[in-house]
Amino acid sequence: MPAPEDPEQRRRRRALLRAHHPDLGGDPAELVRALQELQRAPRGAGEVVFVRRPRGLRRLAPPLRLLLRRSSRLLPRLARGRGRRPPRVL
């Protein structure tokens, strides 16, 4: 069984083992049943993380930056296509 992360869970599990362990005079079937019940107990959802997303014009800045970066790469390629053609080699 993996070690529980929560100190409260660990405390409850250790108290259960002390109360029902066969080496300490407890019933093995009762220990197994109690451990299974402890594993089925619902756990918390975990750590809550808040994420602030940019609002207003700040929200538009990253997509615009990406668009400008791509267009600056494409413009020289398009400009190369215009103008005179290179001489043909025979």
Would you state the structure tokens that stand for residue 76, as one six-digit string? Answer: 């020289």
Locus of tokens 């100190």: 7
Q: Cα dist. 64→70, 73, 74 in Å?
A: 10, 14, 15
Would you state the structure tokens that stand for residue 52, as one six-digit string? Answer: 């602030």
Domain ranges of the chain: 7-38
pLDDT tens figures, 27-65:
889 989 988 988 887 766 677 888 888 888 888 888 888
pLDDT tens figures, 66-78:
888 877 776 666 5
Nearest residue to 15 (alpha-carbon basis) of 26, 43, 42: 26
Q: What is the pLDDT of residue 3?
A: 54
Burial category of 58 from C-beta neighbours within 10 Å (exposed 0-12, middle 13-18, buried 19 and up) = exposed
Please state, in angstroms and rounded to a whole number, the distance separating the CA atoms of residues 59 and 72.
21
